[in-house]
Amino acid sequence: MPDETIMDGLFGLDGATWDMILAVITALIKAFVIVNGLLLAFAYMTLTERKVLGRMQARFGPNRVGPFGLLQPIADGIKLAFKEDVTPRQANFWVHMVAPMMALIPALIIFAVIPLGPEMRILGQPWTWYVAKINVGYLYATAIASVGVYGLVLAGWASNSKYALLGGLRASAQVISYELAQGLAAMTALVLAGSLNLYEIVNQQVSSGLPYALYLPFGLIAFVIYVVAGVAESNRAPFDMAEAEGELGAGFHTEYSGFKWSMFFMAEYVNMINISALATVLFLGGWWPIPTDAPGIIQGLGPIVFLIKIGAFMFMFIWLRATFPRLRFDRLMSLGWKVLLPIALVNLLLTSAVVALWPLGVWPFAQ
């Protein structure tokens, strides 16, 4: 907080106005760091995936550009920036141009409400590890994530290609199907926390000393459903039917090239990070086991713990891609509608009944 004796009256503004200006500047700096951090994470996640897949498949990954291949993402970015951008003659030009941005921008702004660590004080000043703390944080995240699928659908439609159109339709059907199961699984955590505020959800888990994934059996069931649905929502193997190369050429992005093509993959990897972060917040306690009221140095470990958990999820995404074959599309839809959705619904009803029967918040199955 600025010293009111110094700031009061400066440029005709009082201390409260300066506080508001500084808060806005701080939020803009945080947003800048988060967006660029996500893009950097995307770049090096592609390298990590290629290296890990290489080891799992008994071959080398990228190892030519820079020491240990660490400059490969930079080389790929330069190549894509200068690669020829081709737009089909019969495509809807403006929709074809806007669709990649509609996929990427929602993915980048979801992270604004993700709390990476506990609220703390640095040099006597308050500091928070999030851009915005809103009471409906989870609703904000899911609403923005739902917009992203429009980019895939419009990319398939605007390309005027049967392969791309089928990929866009598959993407929309897949996201709608698995969003229902994912939403019901997330509601289990929301019922346990009694809040939609993501910071409060983490705080409840840290205070109780037990993440919701360990609230047996309902919390664990919801966690598993949430993760499986999250993999399907991000169009990752074995649920990458919207991009099935053997059937659709490349799916919704068949007619894309150059930088516009890369924006779809930016969106995919950033969505993987978002899903991992939300799963960490809802079911793994965020920065748990770091206490929220710990000394400042200990609190500073909270974001590190959070990022380690995200890294474990990202490794799981790679492991699944290297292990499982792609599902057939009808089986993919059957899994979402006939298996995950009913289980998630029954699990939510039972969790709500238990919470209603134990109003003091004592979870009878947690021991």
Q: What is the pLDDT of residues 243-301, one digit of tens each?
A: 766 666 677 888 888 888 889 989 999 999 999 999 999 999 999 888 877 777 888 88
| Burial class of residue 36 in the structure, from the number of CB atoms within 10 Å of its CB (0-12 exposed, 13-18 middle, 19+ buried) | exposed
Residue 13 lies in a domain: no
Q: What is the pLDDT of residues 61-70, one digit of tens each?
A: 888 888 888 9
> d(Cα 102, Cα 225) in Å, to the nearest integer?
27
Residue 309 lies in a domain: no
Instruction: State residue 77 phi and psi, 5-degree precision.
Output: -65, -40
Give residue 366's pLDDT band: very low, low, confident or very high (50, 70, 90). very low
Amino acid at 252: F
Say yes or no to pLDDT of 367 above 50: no
pLDDT at 326: 84
Residue 20 lies in a domain: no
Residue 277 lies in a domain: yes
Dihedral (CA of 334, 336, 339, 342) sign? negative
Count how many domains the chain has: 1
For residues 121 and 246, the model is more confident at 121
**Mean pLDDT to the nearest integer, 332-338:** 90
Residue 210 lies in a domain: yes
Say yes or no to pLDDT of 154 above 70: yes
**Mean pLDDT to the nearest integer, 72-95:** 88
| Residue in 221, 239, 259 with CA at minimum distance from that of residue 320 | 239
Say yes or no to pLDDT of 27 above 60: yes
**Mean pLDDT to the nearest integer, 88-101:** 90
Say yes or no to pLDDT of 166 above 90: no
> d(Cα 201, Cα 11) in Å, to the nearest integer?
41
Q: Where are the alpha helices (DSSP H) in the chain?
A: 4-7, 15-56, 72-82, 93-109, 137-158, 162-193, 198-208, 218-233, 245-248, 258-283, 296-299, 302-323, 329-334, 341-357
Residue 93 CB neighbour total at 10 angstroms:
11
Min mean pLDDT across 42-51, 71-80, 240-249 is at 240-249
Residue 109 lies in a domain: yes
Distances from the Cα of 292 to the Cα of 194, 232, 286, 288, 300, angstroms: 19, 33, 11, 9, 10
Q: What is the pLDDT of residues 6-20, one digit of tens each?
A: 445 555 566 677 778
Structural domain span for residue 128: 83-303+321-357
Task: State the first-to-last Cα distance of the chain, in angstroms, to the nearest integer.
Answer: 44
Residue 234 lies in a domain: yes
**Mean pLDDT to the nearest integer, 297-318:** 92
Residues 6+ apart with CB under 8 A from 161: 88, 254, 255
Give residue 185's pLDDT band: very low, low, confident or very high (50, 70, 90). very high
Residue 258 lies in a domain: yes
For residues 300 and 307, the model is more confident at 307
Dihedral (CA of 30, 32, 34, 40) sign? negative
